[in-house]
Amino acid sequence: MATVPAELISRAQAWLAEDPDPETRDELAKLIEAEDLDALAGRFAGTLQFGTAGLRGELGAGPMRMNRAVVIRAAAGLAAYLKDSGQGEGLVVVGYDARYKSADFARDTAAVMVGAGLRAAVLPRPLPTPVLAFAIRHLGAVAGVEVTASHNPPRDNGYKVYLGDGSQIVPPADAGIAERIAAVRSLADVPRPETGWETLDEAVLTAYLERTDAVLTPGSARDIGVVYTPMHGVGRDTLVAAFARAGFPAPAVVAEQAEPDPDFPTVAFPNPEEPGAMDLAFATARSKAPGSVDIVIANDPDADRCAVAVPAPGTPEGWRMLRGDEVGALLAAHLVRKGATGTFATTIVSSQLMSRIAAGASLPYEETLTGFKWLARADGLRYAYEEALGYCVDPEGVRDKDGITAALLITELAAELKREGRGLADLLDELAVEFGLHATDQLSVRVEDLSLIAGAMRRLREQPPTALAGLAVTRADDLNEGSAALPPTDGLRYYLAGAPEAGIEAARVVVRPSGTEPKLKCYLEVVVPVGDAAALPDARAKAANTLAAIKKDLSAAAGI
């Protein structure tokens, strides 16, 4: 066996000496005793980087894993940042989901805040992330922390930070917090009293539920059949309570996924977008009386995202999962119909359809970088969505994506359409006829070696494609350079010329590394003019063929 470098052993032993968690202490002690070079090197190759997504990573011992020692340092850095910003006596609200170690990380955070002289309040139990985002504004806090890894694999956890406006941190706050985290020399320097913080009661959840009433129109339709899955997460009780308050029939909850379970035993990844994740929900819908289920709804484990499926007769599943862009457009159209005013916003990787919906209603429209940390800051925001199943339908209540209120609003829309003898798919067809078919797809590559992502981005920058699917690249933006409208970010955007003879109006491609997962993500959109409903099948076929060709050419250009 190779000799483990003495410096690595020394670092591991120093970490072990101050690790407050018996589980990770035991894990690390065994690795040191076994002189497991690979495992130790992976855990001590650096530190988890604190950025605009906060922290997220695999649970385990060492500075490159999520554990109590890393969380205590992160909390100490946040506390120092707040004190240096003149908010040293303010309130920090802490929420958490049902993943492994989430409750421990929440308590450690509260203890660090109190030890630093701030006040801290912890949500009463594992609750959806939107409840935490709401509580920050509702309680007048100076910051909030949500312990969650959202839809990541079971062995992950994360640490999401909000400031007092209820939105997630953006630069330069992230760098300021990271600088103060790095300044923490020893956990012995971080006071952590065993008491002194408040555990909130159910009143905060009641206030959130009362706020959900604001997203619906009094007297709108309520006759609707819904199958719902919380995907082993924390959304069920809150969503069911919100449905009851609204007067919707109780949704049929997928029994196998109803209870919070950090192992997520029925899914490979607890993300409604992943293949197979919705299978049990579709099976539950098929088990009901024919015609009794109108839509299927899913939340991700922390219930800040919302997935929707519609009947698809003739397909094996009998249901079709709507893309985030489709739900985003449906909600935009519904809000326009309800007379909403204010800015409609989405991200640079989402469909351009909403820009046309907003323009048709003479509403302001804005595009931001990916993530609700940016969307929430759109001037005069009324509605925002991103293609990754995130929707903000009540920014005055929750300045972040909210899978509970989004579920309420899409259910109201489905009920209204049902009363008119139509469905969500019918409205999508109408939008395509009015604004053109905006067909989207994604090329997503998950890697073990992050250098593959960097290599693909470098290859595309050094040898940018001049055409994709036979469509000329008319403009290539390196988003690293930033612009007057967008801060710099690691991404590339290509605008493609149309092909009138082929019935293609235009196309667009955006390539970027994921901010939360080891993935390279490529977002594709093709726009096809549609004269009338009879032309839709042909338009969809053209779009699908073009998207498939773009995928093939882009994959070759990126070498992935």
556, containing H or E segment: helix 536-558
356, containing H or E segment: helix 353-360
| 220 catalytic per annotation | no
Phi, psi of 9 (to 5 degrees): -60, -40
Handedness of CA 200, 201, 202, 208 (dihedral sign): negative
Buried (b) or exposed (e) across 213-236, using 16+ Cβ within 10 A?
eebbeeeebbebbbbbbbbbbbbb
User: Checking DSSP bridges between strand 143-147 and strand 91-96, what pairing results, if any?
Assistant: parallel
Handedness of CA 127, 130, 134, 136 (dihedral sign): positive
Q: Cα(483)–Cα(489) distance, rounded to whole angstroms?
A: 10
DSSP 3-state percent helix, strand, coil across the chain (nearest 5): 40, 20, 40
Phi, psi of 54 (to 5 degrees): 75, -130
Quote the tokens at residue 491: 């991404």
Phi, psi of 520 (to 5 degrees): -100, 125
161, containing H or E segment: strand 156-163
Quote the tokens at residue 89: 């006596």
> For residue 474, which of 506, 443, 500 has the smallest C-alpha distance?
506
End-to-end CA, the chain: 35
Is the bond leading into 311 cis (omega within 30 degrees of zero)? no
In what side-by-side order are the strands of the sheet with 198-199? 55-58, 156-163, 143-147, 91-96, 119-122, 198-199
Residue from 102, 150, 167, 355 carrying the catalytic annotation? 150
The residues carrying an active-site annotation are: 150
